[in-house]
């Protein structure tokens, strides 16, 4: 489960990093070549979309026309936040900033790209920490499993059955093998498809390796090298 979380968080981190770098690059361009202009609001409208869960999303648009310093007439349509949209009326003049080398790229609010970059970088930092956390949990388990196989006592346990997990892969539940050790302590394996554990019915004897906090099934961690030739 931790691996899937790490994958999701990592993909989100990558996407946010790309967005942040893009916004920061635009912010620097506006710092260098941003030009102020007065734009007339030609139209304002909203577009409603519905996602697969039935949730509605409203996007607000302004159609703006302005003249560059070179006398070029530019008409652009830009999505804006609801606060800007609600306080804007058709026909009014709105101050905007455009790129001299790319006049159809504008900022409706001065410095909006830098603000986006800053916010996205903070969100990316949070996802980065979450990714590290998601990797740390399975990583810690992997280290514990390897140490148990290498140094832990090799013992025999008796299978008590299977336990179904709460999650599914490809719409199929995963199961854990459960056992009881000679000491009376119970344990369980990593998650597998049910058919992958069919060779280990109740009362089957299996090999486990004792770790610091729990025992690990040899089917999870593999046999200790010297045990394979025994």
In a domain, 141, yes or no: no
Phi, psi angle pair for 198, to nearest 5°: -65, -20
- 114 with 162, same domain: the answer is no
Q: pLDDT (tens digit, 9 = 90+) per residue, 59-118? A: 999 999 999 999 999 999 998 989 889 999 999 998 989 998 889 888 888 877 777 767
Domain that holds residue 49: 2-122
- 10 with 118, same domain: the answer is yes
The neighbour count for residue 18, using CB atoms within 10 Å, is 12
- Distance, CA of 85 to CA of 60 (rounded, Å): 7
- 112 with 182, same domain: the answer is no
Q: pLDDT (tens digit, 9 = 90+) per residue, 148-196? A: 788 888 999 999 999 999 888 888 899 999 999 989 999 999 889 999 9
Q: What is the largest CA-CA distance in the chain?
A: 88
Within 13 A of 6's CA, how many CA atoms are on the CB side?
11
- Output the pTM of the full model: 0.46
Three-state SS at 173: strand
Say if CB 81 and CB 88 are below 8 A apart. no
* Residue with the two structure tokens 């140490």: 147
In a domain, 127, yes or no: no
Say if CB 96 and CB 64 are below 8 A apart. yes
């Amino acid at each position: 489960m931790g691996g899937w979380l790490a994958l999701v968080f990592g993909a989100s981190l990558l996407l946010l990093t790309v967005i942040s770098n893009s916004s920061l690059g635009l912010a620097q361009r506006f710092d260098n070549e941003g030009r102020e202009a007065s734009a007339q609001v030609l139209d304002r409208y909203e577009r409603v979309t519905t996602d697969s869960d039935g949730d509605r999303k409203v996007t607000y648009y302004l159609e703006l026309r302005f003249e560059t310093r070179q006398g070029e007439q530019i008409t652009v349509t830009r999505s804006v936040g609801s606060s800007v949209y609600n306080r804007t009326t058709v026909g009014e003049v709105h101050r905007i900033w455009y790129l001299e080398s790319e006049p159809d790229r504008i900022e409706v609010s001065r410095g909006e790209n830098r603000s986006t970059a800053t916010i996205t970088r903070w969100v990316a930092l949070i996802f980065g920490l979450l990714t590290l956390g998601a990797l740390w949990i399975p990583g810690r388990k992997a280290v514990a499993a390897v140490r148990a196989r290498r140094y832990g006592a090799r013992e025999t346990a008796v299978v008590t059955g299977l336990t179904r997990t709460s999650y599914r892969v490809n719409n199929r539940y995963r199961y854990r093998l459960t056992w009881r050790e000679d000491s009376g302590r119970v344990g369980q394996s990593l998650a597998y498809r049910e058919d992958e554990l069919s060779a280990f019915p109740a009362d089957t004897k299996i090999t486990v390796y004792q770790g610091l906090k729990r025992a690990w099934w040899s089917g999870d961690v593999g046999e200790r090298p010297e045990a394979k030739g025994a």
